[in-house]
Structure 1
Amino acid sequence: MLDLRDTRIPDVIDYCKEVLSVDLDTENPAFGWGGKSVGFRTSRGTWVKILFRPSDLLNEWTWTGEECASVLTGISKPQLLRSIRWSDGQRELVWRADETTRVDSPVISSTPEIRDYPQGLSADWWNDLRESLSALAGKKTTRVGVRQDLINRRVREYAGEAVDPSVDEWMPAHADVHWANLTAPTMTLLDWEGWGLGPRGLDAATLWVFSLLVPAVAKRVSEEFADDLSCRSGKIAQLFMCVELLKMVRNFGDHPDLEKPLTREADRLVVELAGTPRSG
């Protein structure tokens, strides 16, 4: 897989500059997770993010996420201004570039997980996050962020038949709420490629698992989103995220420090859910 952190793409950058009619600050790039995207400040005070997918692995849902999210209101997010996309037969890739309003507050972490208590998480910050996720949950969409069959597979891989993984409540979710997609001191939620329907509590569960190395923050997430995380679907979402990240730890070596707390919390949730019948 191409890693933009150590691969020069002058032709891609020049094409974006020409089509978007803008200069990019290429001396100060900001790379996404794993070098799969790169962003630049522009000469007109906006932001351009460039990303790619292999031509044979293009996912229509993630590829159209930013456009579909552009009509969402009541959410603290960048505004999409324009997009371009094109095929790269030589590299067997498809590229896209999104120009959005620029977010001045920095991301909270360079990685999805945190190891220290973040600065700038005021009461207003938590309130803005709650209100944004609540506004999102109230929207209507046919997009799917996390499928029931994936939840079934992950939960049964870990818990066997001890837990019924069926989700009772489905709501629109960002589906990737972690500390590298959140800014502070002003709360902005970035990267809307994969948003869509998910179990109630999915976004809170995602932020919670990526907070487990800082128990005080994990506790704060649980308190701020107690209603979503304490219901059955919220517990299924937490168990799913624990198991999903454990798979990343064990199969790909990602987030290795999280293995012990993820296992501890997954075991606890299995016990709780095994005694909780599905409603209805």
Structure 2
Amino acid sequence: MERAAMLDLRENSLPDVIEYCKKALDVEFRDDGPTFGWGGKSAGFGTSRGTWVKILSRATGSINERTWTGEECASVLSGVSKPRLLRSIRWSDEERGVVWRADETTLVSFPAVSSTPEIRNDSPGLSNTWWSDLGESLAALARQKTTRVGVRQDLINRRIREFAGDAIDSSVDEWTTAHADVHWANLTAPTLVLLDWEGWGLGPRGLDAATLWVFSLLAPSVAERVSDEFSEDLSSRSGKIAQLFMCVELLKMVRDYGDHPDLEKPLSREADRLVTELAESTR
């Protein structure tokens, strides 16, 4: 989970940045104000031509190429329910020591399932069609060919070793293309759209289902539905490694940054279970 240096756009007045975007894209922003992304790392605006513009920045010298180019690289994906990229601009801001980018996409009018990555409602009202559409989109994505990497093997090894020592072999034997950030604030309903394509790329088979599952642990019936819908991927060896990786990755976020504190107990419980299952399967 990247923690690159960035401006918190909720706390910085940026009229010059907004005016630059409006002129460069030849569009007006609606008056209902911005919608901010996680940690204020981005600001989104509806526009006068019925589109959406997302503005974000990174400190000069701290740009992660994978996440910086994710949205435009995702524009070539097919069979996946996602916003369509219309145009992008980038420019250097020497005074603030950052590089800006703005992406204009088709407008998604449906709300996110949750305002936070985790879900707490055991009955979110998601239809069978919604679940089917999610499965079809993730299956179509998994079939895409890419050289991008969403989660590296060395990161998986390091996180699992920090938690379980040498109890298991964490090498992944099946890799597929993944969104790599499928949580409840990146999924809309009642019509499914997958948002935020910054970090997509190759990951262990079942990574997206594993990510959605860990963010569902506070709503047991939803977690069970995720497990049922994606049982084939999650029951594979790579799927179990993906689940364990996501458990220990979120535990690190809980303990190092104070994120998602309510998830600590269920994450620990499930991580212990998965270590036991994976260790026993190799004996």
Out of 252, 256, 259, the residue aligned to residue 251 of structure 1 is 256
| Consecutive unaligned residues in structure 2, runs of 5 or more | 1-5
> How much has 1:267 moved relative to structure 2?
0.3
> 1:127 aligns to what?
132
Out of 270, 274, 278, the residue aligned to residue 275 of structure 2 is 270
The 3-state SS of whatever aligns with 2:61 is: helix
Is the Cα–Cα contact under 8 Å of residues 242 and 262 in structure 1 kept in the other structure?
yes
> How much has 1:57 moved relative to structure 2?
1.1
Is the Cα–Cα contact under 8 Å of residues 7 and 58 in structure 2 kept in the other structure?
no
> 2:209 aligns to what?
204
Which residue identity lines up with residue 260 of structure 1 in the other structure?
A: K
| Consecutive unaligned residues in structure 1, runs of 5 or more | none
Which residue identity lines up with residue 273 of structure 1 in the other structure?
A: L
The 3-state SS of whatever aligns with 2:103 is: strand
The 3-state SS of whatever aligns with 2:223 is: helix
Which residue identity lines up with residue 263 of structure 1 in the other structure?
A: S
* Structure 2 residue 14 is the aligned partner of structure 1 residue 5: no
* Structure 2 residue 188 is the aligned partner of structure 1 residue 183: yes
The 3-state SS of whatever aligns with 2:43 is: strand
User: Which digits, 9 at most, give the CA deviation of each residue in 1:220-259, with x for residues without a partner?
Assistant: 0000000000000000000000000000000000000000
* Structure 2 residue 55 is the aligned partner of structure 1 residue 76: no
CA RMSD across the alignment: 1.1
1:118 and 1:106 map into 2 onto residues whose CA distance is 16
The 3-state SS of whatever aligns with 2:169 is: coil
TM-score for the superposition, normalised by structure 2: 0.96
> 1:230 aligns to what?
235
Aligned structure 1 segments of 4 or more residues deviating by more than 4 angstroms: none
1:26 and 1:112 map into 2 onto residues whose CA distance is 27
Is the Cα–Cα contact under 8 Å of residues 108 and 118 in structure 1 kept in the other structure?
no
User: Which digits, 9 at most, give the CA deviation of each residue in 1:152-182, with x for residues without a partner?
Assistant: 0000000000010000100000000001100
1:176 and 1:76 map into 2 onto residues whose CA distance is 15
The 3-state SS of whatever aligns with 1:8 is: coil
> How much has 1:65 moved relative to structure 2?
0.7
Which residue identity lines up with residue 35 of structure 1 in the other structure?
A: G
